[in-house]
Structure 1
Amino acid sequence: MAWKSRTRSLQVFDTELSADTVEWCPVPQWHHILACGTYQLQKSQDGAVEESVTPSRIGRLYLFRFQQQGALCPPLNELQRIDTPAILDVKWCHVPVSGRPLLGMATATGELQFHSMQDKLDGRCSLDKVSSTELGPERLALSLDWSTGRGESSAIRVVSSDSKGCVNVLGLTETTWTALSQWKAHDFEAWIAAFSYWDTQIIYSGGDDCKLKGWDLRIGPSCPTFSSKSHSMGVCSIHSNPHREHILATGSYDEHVLLWDGRNMRRPLSESAVGGGVWRLKWHPTHEHLLLAACMHNDFHILHCQEAIEGSDGPCPILASYVLHNSLAYGADWSQVCLDSPPPASPQESGEPSQAQPAQVGGHLRIQYESPTASFDTSLEDEMGRYIPEPPSPQPDPCSVVATPTPALDSPSISCLLASCSFYDHMLHVWRWDWCPKEGATKVAGVQDQATGDSAAAAASP
């Protein structure tokens, strides 16, 4: 086959309300289940945002099943939709709870909701709300993470961050959630909080004060274990690598992805410019070096982090980019569904232009704060409430493009199923990424040289 890295759209779904979070179920037997959350600030009939002490924010939770049914059948089927308060984040517990998948949801009312998967008489499945807890008055729950990232089911806990700058930790006892701790972690919004999956007494948080902080629950939250300002703008994404101990990825409005070794938080292992504010980061569920980034103004990218993790300096190269969304790139996740169908034809075989492009690293419309809050909802609209499209980003200088890593010639191909969603165009995309060695190359170095040429050709294609 003549191509090395390729993305291909499988299906597009209109969520009607602005889509900002997606998550595939990580529990075996339910890998084909996808949840998507939406967020919408209510507006008056003339298009203006409703003015009140507490703006009205509505949302909807979608549940889908993915099923490969042949080329002519859409693979994604809607199972359920639930009207809710506006949703800022959804995360599945990595292990079953009472034998069923459990979905956590952070809402604009400051509430964490928990929904359990149930089987219906017609053979379908659906979510039933089983519990909820309030983080506090007059705040938005902005993120949540489970302590179960490595598949450990003992002492299940959830950490959440909120718009008051607080971090909240809850513990699950049978079916009851107990508040274990809450503390003021950041001066402004605490955009993100996440567990270290290797030591779940350690929590990381990031806020609009541009700080990344660490906390040890064993010594209490009176003082962070570290406080870093390596990011120059608000920190809004954190994900612990479930495969490599101590490895942490963080993203920020400053348009950079940083990789860290948790044993030395004085400076990051690597810094990668991705050309857009990094709202979400997701490590691949089985491949330890692959990192998915939702980059707000600059689409979705898959980064190869092996050399950075192993101590080499320099940014993480981008293996592939998914550029078919027309609005702010927010939610993204990998699926563990096995794609047993053959990969799509190569661009040379099909006559289609390649969709795998290097990151666009400049020229986008910069906005001071781009988050799912009231300020975000009005920042890209005119007086009539209409979306103002961004100007196209210029292509980067080909000399500045980082060479794409190539798998060894005897390595297996990788075929991945992904989902992503974007805000103002309220779209959910399901797509696949295929990565394989090139045939006919005699040396890995030669393949890398050819990959650089492919990237330049892709950048020049319409």
Structure 2
Amino acid sequence: MAEATLQNLYPSSNQINTLYTYDTVLSADSVEWCPHEPYQNFFVCGNYQLDESSKNKNTETPQKRLGRILLFSISPVNGLKLWQSLNTPGVLDQKWCHNQINGLSILGVVNSEKTLEIYKFKPQDKKLLKPLPVKFELELITSYKIVEADNSEVLMLSLDWSTGKYESQEPEIICSDSKGRWHKFMFDKTGKLILLESSFPMHSYEAWIAAFYYWNTNVFFTGADDSVLLKFDLRIGLDPVLENKTHTGGVTSIHSNAEKEHIIVTGCYDEYLRLWDIRSMKIPVGTLKMPGPLWRLKWDPFGSNYLLAACMSGGAHVVDGHNKDDLKIIESYYKHKNITYGVDWSHLNESEVNKFSYEGNRIISTCSFYDHLLCVTKLYVEDR
């Protein structure tokens, strides 16, 4: 659908305004805001791009995938500031642990070289003979690389922390990969990753997403390019306890609602947002046709009543999710011209948000792939 037509059907409003833009150079596919005070004005942007110089038609060697993790902050005085650019393998997904661990903000990253990486956020006040500006950076503290018997190429595609509802100093992490499998880890008190379990291929194609049910993290879900949504309950065993074939395209996004028990949301290439009650999953309890294929869905961190959606070729949108029978788009953003992949809500409270230009009570970030564009915007959503 042409952009002009989309904007006629899902018009942007004066309630959403661009604060900052940034050219990430490499293709951008994820943005994640730090949830912890006093660093809620910090966020990371992940990059992923094929290295054309590594392409060799005469060998079967996989083409190299380049990546970067960009650490930014925003402030009403200094605007958007890049603090650090870390070269990595291609970044597929990033998530901050919802609670701090040993007083530190911890970031999980999955990449194109079979690896889950864990970084800590370091504010450093480096004072020598005279005071110098505070320095902020990410430091890699541990990683785990999946070992393949045949040394085949594997991309780790997604991750989720178990801490969405209940805090833990030894949280678990669920990941999915390009062979249709899931891997479950624990980040222990010594700061190391322990692989708890890896599955056989549970999906026929790439498992784009794995996500915990935050109210009981024995339960988690995976979704894949085979259009199947699987539910697991490790109290029963390693095999799925439910196979849902409602989706008519690849299942790309799953997010548990931390405020409403039993509720999860899924996104799909078939352009439908689906709301589910996990106690009975024959049919969704709510659906909404979106303006494009869905890649990411995020419940807001202030009450989990609104959803932020990355619709790839169809822009970014805010969905009112108060009423499962009346899901509706209330804001739309079309600054991105080519594949909107990353979206996230800032955790800044309204008093902090008010210090920035324009009217509004929320700040969000979005990013797109082929035009390698990062945007930070301000908007208004009704608190109710």
Matched, 1:416 2:362: yes
Alignment partner, residue 218 of structure 2:
201
| Offset of residue 98 of structure 1 | 2.0
Alignment partner, residue 128 of structure 1:
139
Query: Any idea what SS the aligned residue of 1:44 has?
Result: helix
Once residues 254 and 377 of structure 2 are traced to their aligned partners in structure 1, the CA distance between those partners, rounded to angstroms, is: 24
Matched, 1:219 2:236: yes
Once residues 158 and 49 of structure 1 are traced to their aligned partners in structure 2, the CA distance between those partners, rounded to angstroms, is: 37
Alignment partner of 1:32 out of 28, 38, 41: 41
Alignment partner, residue 4 of structure 2:
none
- Is the 8 Å Cα contact of residues 24 and 31 (structure 1) preserved in structure 2? yes
Alignment partner, residue 170 of structure 1:
185
- 1:424-435 residue pairs with structure 2 within 5 A? 424-435=370-381
What amino acid maps onto 1:197 in structure 2?
A: Y
Once residues 251 and 25 of structure 2 are traced to their aligned partners in structure 1, the CA distance between those partners, rounded to angstroms, is: 29
Query: Any idea what SS the aligned residue of 2:312 has?
Result: coil
Alignment partner, residue 23 of structure 1:
32
Larger-Rg structure: 1
Alignment partner, residue 358 of structure 2:
344
Alignment partner, residue 161 of structure 1:
176
Once residues 311 and 251 of structure 2 are traced to their aligned partners in structure 1, the CA distance between those partners, rounded to angstroms, is: 13
- 1:221-260 residue pairs with structure 2 within 5 A? 221=238, 223-260=239-276
Alignment partner, residue 365 of structure 1:
none
- Is the 8 Å Cα contact of residues 116 and 128 (structure 1) preserved in structure 2? yes
Query: Any idea what SS the aligned residue of 2:45 has?
Result: strand
Using a 3 Å threshold, how does the CA distance of structure 1 residues 331 and 247 change in structure 2: closer, same or farther? same
Once residues 35 and 112 of structure 2 are traced to their aligned partners in structure 1, the CA distance between those partners, rounded to angstroms, is: 25
Once residues 247 and 336 of structure 1 are traced to their aligned partners in structure 2, the CA distance between those partners, rounded to angstroms, is: 22
| Offset of residue 48 of structure 1 | 9.0
- Is the 8 Å Cα contact of residues 70 and 82 (structure 2) preserved in structure 1? yes
| Offset of residue 343 of structure 1 | 6.6
Alignment partner of 1:119 out of 106, 123, 127: 123
Structure 1, unpaired ranges of 5+: 346-413, 438-462
Using a 3 Å threshold, how does the CA distance of structure 1 residues 203 and 50 change in structure 2: closer, same or farther? farther
Once residues 270 and 85 of structure 2 are traced to their aligned partners in structure 1, the CA distance between those partners, rounded to angstroms, is: 35
Alignment partner, residue 309 of structure 2:
293
Alignment partner of 2:339 out of 303, 328, 333: 328
Once residues 169 and 51 of structure 2 are traced to their aligned partners in structure 1, the CA distance between those partners, rounded to angstroms, is: 41
Alignment partner, residue 7 of structure 2:
none
Alignment partner, residue 3 of structure 2:
none
Alignment partner, residue 368 of structure 1:
none
Alignment partner of 1:187 out of 180, 204, 214: 204
- Is the 8 Å Cα contact of residues 262 and 278 (structure 2) preserved in structure 1? yes
| Offset of residue 106 of structure 1 | 0.6
Using a 3 Å threshold, how does the CA distance of structure 1 residues 285 and 5 change in structure 2: closer, same or farther? farther
What amino acid maps onto 1:286 in structure 2?
A: F
Query: Any idea what SS the aligned residue of 2:323 has?
Result: helix
Alignment partner of 1:210 out of 217, 221, 227: 227
Once residues 72 and 157 of structure 2 are traced to their aligned partners in structure 1, the CA distance between those partners, rounded to angstroms, is: 23
Alignment partner, residue 96 of structure 2:
92
RMSD: 2.0
Percent sequence identity is 37
Query: Any idea what SS the aligned residue of 2:122 has?
Result: strand
- 1:46-61 residue pairs with structure 2 within 5 A? 52-61=60-69
Using a 3 Å threshold, how does the CA distance of structure 1 residues 335 and 50 change in structure 2: closer, same or farther? farther
Using a 3 Å threshold, how does the CA distance of structure 1 residues 304 and 38 change in structure 2: closer, same or farther? same
Once residues 29 and 134 of structure 1 are traced to their aligned partners in structure 2, the CA distance between those partners, rounded to angstroms, is: 32
Alignment partner, residue 5 of structure 2:
none
Using a 3 Å threshold, how does the CA distance of structure 1 residues 141 and 4 change in structure 2: closer, same or farther? closer
- Is the 8 Å Cα contact of residues 266 and 274 (structure 2) preserved in structure 1? yes
Once residues 198 and 68 of structure 1 are traced to their aligned partners in structure 2, the CA distance between those partners, rounded to angstroms, is: 37
- Is the 8 Å Cα contact of residues 93 and 110 (structure 2) preserved in structure 1? yes
Query: Any idea what SS the aligned residue of 2:275 has?
Result: strand
Once residues 161 and 256 of structure 2 are traced to their aligned partners in structure 1, the CA distance between those partners, rounded to angstroms, is: 11
TM-score (norm 2): 0.88
What amino acid maps onto 1:13 in structure 2?
A: Y
Deviations 1:240-295 (A, max 9, x none): 01111111010011111100011111110111111211110000001321000000
Matched, 1:317 2:328: yes
- Is the 8 Å Cα contact of residues 304 and 319 (structure 1) preserved in structure 2? yes
Alignment partner, residue 447 of structure 1:
none
What amino acid maps onto 1:206 in structure 2?
A: G
| Offset of residue 119 of structure 1 | 2.1
- 1:272-283 residue pairs with structure 2 within 5 A? 272-283=288-299
| Offset of residue 65 of structure 1 | 1.1
What amino acid maps onto 1:417 in structure 2?
A: I
Once residues 304 and 154 of structure 1 are traced to their aligned partners in structure 2, the CA distance between those partners, rounded to angstroms, is: 33
What amino acid maps onto 1:219 in structure 2?
A: I
Deviations 1:76-102 (A, max 9, x none): 111101000000001000111221101
Higher strand share: 2
- 1:1-12 residue pairs with structure 2 within 5 A? 6-12=15-21
- Is the 8 Å Cα contact of residues 235 and 253 (structure 1) preserved in structure 2? yes
Once residues 433 and 48 of structure 1 are traced to their aligned partners in structure 2, the CA distance between those partners, rounded to angstroms, is: 46
Alignment partner, residue 66 of structure 1:
74
Query: Any idea what SS the aligned residue of 1:39 has?
Result: strand
Once residues 25 and 80 of structure 1 are traced to their aligned partners in structure 2, the CA distance between those partners, rounded to angstroms, is: 15
Once residues 287 and 416 of structure 1 are traced to their aligned partners in structure 2, the CA distance between those partners, rounded to angstroms, is: 13
TM-score (norm 1): 0.74
Q: How many residues matched?
A: 356
Once residues 322 and 147 of structure 2 are traced to their aligned partners in structure 1, the CA distance between those partners, rounded to angstroms, is: 41
- Point out the more displaced range, 335-344 or 229-238: 335-344
| Offset of residue 126 of structure 1 | 0.6
Query: Any idea what SS the aligned residue of 2:237 has?
Result: coil
